[in-house]
Structure 1
Amino acid sequence: MIVGLTGGIGSGKTTVAEVFKKLDSVAVYIADIEARKIMNSSVVIRTQLLQAFGKETYKNNELNRQYLANTVFESEEKLTILNNIVHPEVKKHFLDFATRNADKSYVLYESAILFESNSSQQCDFIISVFLDKEERIKRVLERDKTTEKEVLSRINSQWKEDKKLLSSNYIIFNYAIQDTKKSVLKIHNILTEKALTIL
């Protein structure tokens, strides 16, 4: 069983994924981290990214994430190009990961662009992490060396929150960590039971 986990930038998806990671019967796949590894290791993707976004895409043989982010988040067309290059490889890598972890109750696929990349179609259930926009902006500004304008451009490149929530099976309101942990355990228990019925 595959469960999608998503949420807008700054909502705390990674924090929620870390809580799920502590549960023995769950395998967690963080798409952003794996995509980054693939963008650095795959010669095919490296070649395509250099052709699409120029030689500044890599710096000292490593992906120049800041340059790439600034380039794609100001243009829907460029963001689509990036996703079309990277996403098929991430999908293949994830399906291999899911096969290797078939003994788990379910596999959690964490992705900021779960809906935008159509990865939601491979999920049996979807969890969205919610936090209001002002709080998300505040958290991202505290976390990253960035500007409010850059944060807003990323928010605007993702699906609107109400659209995500309406397309999700479960919602975690991520304001206080203790409440978040309780929500994770509650949802985990429901999903574990559902996994047994699917089997």
Structure 2
Amino acid sequence: MMKVGLTGGIGSGKSEVSRRLAEHGAIVIDADKVAREVVEPGTEGLKEIVEAFGGDVLRPDGSLDRERLGAIVFADAGKLAVLNGIVHPKVGARVQELQDAAPRDAIVVYDVPLLAENGLAPMYDLVVVVDASDETRLDRLTRLRGMSEQDARARIAAQATREDRLKVADVVIANEGPLEDLDARVAELWGDLRARAA
């Protein structure tokens, strides 16, 4: 099994790379998806979040209001640390379960937004960083995701710097242009991963 860590700052296009790798045949374990799973209604994770942040972080249907919680934690490093202390151990346990279920010869891509921030690079055989300038990311977040510029800047600032992310990269996929340009880069990456795995 080859373990590939895939990361990139918010708005870099990491999810697009992840999706394309899955289409090529990679088994993708998405840390964000797992993080949502471990805080669904009825989970211990959601219970602990409500204990730490209060019932205001719940929607009327009892699910987590991620936007409201995000507005609280991305403006306060201490509160973000509390949230991470609740969610990260649960994500780690679930990721281990998914990894154990993968075939032995699989190329497993771990889509991990905070790989650089959490010093996780040594866990992988190879780290791929999807890279775009802060200006490009800001444009995508405000134009495509409808974030306010202030919120987008706060989320970018809450993550590792571009330089810190590039320091942990074994492979960098530059993604400044349109999504169509990514197809060839991802196909090339997939060929490289298969050759390394063999």
Structure 2 vs 1, CA of residues 109 and 42 (structure 1 numbering), >3 Å: closer, same or farther? farther
| TM-score normalised by structure 1 residue count | 0.92
SS in 1 for 2:114: coil
Task: State the partner residue of 1:96.
Answer: 97
Number of residues paired by the alignment? 195
Correspondence list, 1:52-67, <5 A = 52-59=52-59, 60-67=61-68
Correspondence list, 1:69-108, <5 A = 69-108=70-109
| TM-score normalised by structure 2 residue count | 0.92
Runs of 4+ with >4 A deviation: none
Tell me the distance in 2 between the aligned counterparts of 1:192 and 1:99.
20
Q: CA deviation at 1:43?
A: 2.7
Tell me the distance in 1 between the aligned counterparts of 2:111 and 2:161.
18
Task: State the partner residue of 1:109.
Answer: 110
Q: Which amino acid aligns with 2:11?
A: G
Q: Is the 8 A contact 2:9 2:156 kept in 1?
A: yes
1:29 aligns with 2:29: yes
Q: Is the 8 A contact 1:128 1:165 kept in 2?
A: yes
Structure 2 vs 1, CA of residues 23 and 42 (structure 1 numbering), >3 Å: closer, same or farther? farther
Tell me the distance in 2 between the aligned counterparts of 1:128 and 1:161.
10
SS in 2 for 1:102: coil
Instruction: Give structure 2 stretches of 5+ with no counterpart.
Output: none
CA RMSD of aligned residues (A): 1.5
Q: Which amino acid aligns with 1:178?
A: E
Q: Is the 8 A contact 2:5 2:124 kept in 1?
A: yes
Tell me the distance in 2 between the aligned counterparts of 1:186 and 1:65.
35
Q: Is the 8 A contact 1:38 1:90 kept in 2?
A: yes
Tell me the distance in 1 between the aligned counterparts of 2:179 and 2:129.
16
Q: CA deviation at 1:143?
A: 2.5
Q: CA deviation at 1:156?
A: 0.7
Greater helix share, 1 or 2? Answer: 1
Tell me the distance in 2 between the aligned counterparts of 1:38 and 1:109.
17
Task: State the partner residue of 2:146.
Answer: 145
Structure 2 vs 1, CA of residues 192 and 42 (structure 1 numbering), >3 Å: closer, same or farther? farther
Tell me the distance in 2 between the aligned counterparts of 1:142 and 1:32.
22
How far does the alpha carbon of each residue in 1:123-145 deviate from its partner, in whole angstroms, 9 at most, with x for none? 11111111111111111112323
Structure 2 vs 1, CA of residues 118 and 102 (structure 1 numbering), >3 Å: closer, same or farther? farther
Task: State the partner residue of 2:191.
Answer: 189
SS in 2 for 1:128: strand
Structure 2 vs 1, CA of residues 91 and 46 (structure 1 numbering), >3 Å: closer, same or farther? same
Tell me the distance in 1 between the aligned counterparts of 2:122 and 2:56.
34
Q: CA deviation at 1:187?
A: 1.7
Tell me the distance in 2 between the aligned counterparts of 1:68 and 1:16.
27
Instruction: Give structure 1 stretches of 5+ with no counterpart.
Output: none
Tell me the distance in 2 between the aligned counterparts of 1:34 and 1:150.
24
Q: CA deviation at 1:51?
A: 1.5
